[in-house]
């Protein structure tokens, strides 16, 4: 299947980087290479771009798309949680900007055999990095009822999490749950018919929750932001697109933490924490997609862009 992914908030996210001719930039979630190509157009023939993605299919597709920029691009198959290691291996100490486009790509959702979507019959996989040993099937068949309920409630914000977990445990006692359609059937049985008739697909939140858990998507965001900020040059920027309220909350709070001047209690006569303010928040309110973009690409609807600048 051809790697297809529409870059969300493309112009806005790259424009906010204030790309400099000859600068060095890192696309931490390469995907199909849309944001990377936009950056390369702005940084000129002496600019350098590093693209990171844990999905081999993304690396291959972006490599083909960016082949005309040969000599100016390094593509690395890795997780952005290893950002500092990647830069060290490339001999890069500081960069002018980072861009993150969090969440799952359109290609991953639309490739049935990857098991990300409740729309297709497929093995319960959901791995962004196919070398990982943890799949959605592992979680569904091995976690306790309480652990499953916690994941579905916390990451999926699903009101029926406990009941869904109960039904999963009952079903797997009869037979191991192997496919997306098996899991969808269990979820539908767990959610009352009156609830299923309105709102989104009944399996959407549970599938989202399992995907986040399989790939530890939320657990790596804060550390990656802090690593990125530490590698930014003065006035360098970090541009992050989120698609989920939990992702956005982590980005917002991490920016705020890095922007604090002092963490001492207000009543302290003098500062004893020696906290150094590291960033200035550029986007006090997140940048949202236009109505035109949402109309052209419905998956952009929940996107939010937040940007910070190194002091």
Q: How far is CA 295 from the centre of its chain?
A: 22
Q: How confident is the model at residue 5 (pLDDT cuts 50, 70, 90)?
A: low
**CA-to-CA distance for 200 and 184, rounded, in angstroms?**
13
Q: What is the pLDDT of residue 2?
A: 52
**Residue 151 in tokens:** 């994941």
Under CATH, domain 10-103+218-310 is a member of which superfamily? Vaccinia Virus protein VP39 (3.40.50.150)
The answer for residues whose C-beta is within 8 angstroms of residue 160's C-beta and 6 or more apart is 190, 191, 195
Encode pLDDT of 93-102 as tens digits. 999 999 999 9
Encode pLDDT of 135-158 as tens digits. 999 999 999 999 999 999 999 999
- The mean pLDDT value of the chain amounts to 93
Element of type H or E holding 163: helix 161-174
The answer for residues whose C-beta is within 8 angstroms of residue 286's C-beta and 6 or more apart is 248, 304, 305, 306
Q: How far is CA 309 from the centre of its chain?
A: 20
Encode pLDDT of 221-273 as tens digits. 999 999 999 999 999 999 999 999 999 999 999 999 999 987 777 777 777 76
Asked whether residue 165 carries a pLDDT value surpassing 60, the answer given is yes
Encode pLDDT of 29-86 as tens digits. 999 999 999 999 999 999 999 999 999 999 999 999 999 999 999 999 999 999 999 9
Asked whether residue 275 carries a pLDDT value surpassing 90, the answer given is no
Q: How confident is the model at residue 125 (pLDDT cuts 50, 70, 90)?
A: very high
Asked whether residue 13 carries a pLDDT value surpassing 90, the answer given is yes
Q: How many CB atoms lie within 10 A of CB 47?
A: 21
Residue range 123-214 forms a domain whose CATH class is mainly alpha
Asked whether residue 12 carries a pLDDT value surpassing 80, the answer given is yes
Q: How confident is the model at residue 3 (pLDDT cuts 50, 70, 90)?
A: low
The domain locations on the chain are 10-103+218-310, 123-214
């Amino acid at each position: 299947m051809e790697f297809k992914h529409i870059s969300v908030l493309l112009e806005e996210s790259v424009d906010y980087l204030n790309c400099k001719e000859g600068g060095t930039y890192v696309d931490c979630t390469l995907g199909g290479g849309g944001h990377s190509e936009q950056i390369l157009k702005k940084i000129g023939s002496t600019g350098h771009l590093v693209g990171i993605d844990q999905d081999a299919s993304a690396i291959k597709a972006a490599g083909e798309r960016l082949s005309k920029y040969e000599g100016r691009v390094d593509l690395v198959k890795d997780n952005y949680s290893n950002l500092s290691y990647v830069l060290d291996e490339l001999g890069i100490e500081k960069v002018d900007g980072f861009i993150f486009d969090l969440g799952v790509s359109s290609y991953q959702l639309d490739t049935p055999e990857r098991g990300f979507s409740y729309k297709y019959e497929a093995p319960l996989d959901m791995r962004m990095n196919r070398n990982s040993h943890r799949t959605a099937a592992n979680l569904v068949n091995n976690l306790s009822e309480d652990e499953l309920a916690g994941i579905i409630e916390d990451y999926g914000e699903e009101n029926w999490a406990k009941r869904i977990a109960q039904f999963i445990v009952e079903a797997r006692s009869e037979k191991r749950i192997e496919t997306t359609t098996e899991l969808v059937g269990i979820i539908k049985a767990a959610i009352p018919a009156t609830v299923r008739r309105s709102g989104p697909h009944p399996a959407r939140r549970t599938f989202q929750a399992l995907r986040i858990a399989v790939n530890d998507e939320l657990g790596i965001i804060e550390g990656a932001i802090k690593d990125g900020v530490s590698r930014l040059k003065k006035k360098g920027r970090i541009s992050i697109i989120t698609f989920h309220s939990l992702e956005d909350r982590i980005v917002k709070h991490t920016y705020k933490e890095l922007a604090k001047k002092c963490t001492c209690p207000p009543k302290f006569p003098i500062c004893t924490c020696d906290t150094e303010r590291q960033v200035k928040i550029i986007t006090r309110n997140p940048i949202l997609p236009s109505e035109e973009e949402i109309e052209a690409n419905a998956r952009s609807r929940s996107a939010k862009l937040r940007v910070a600048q190194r002091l």
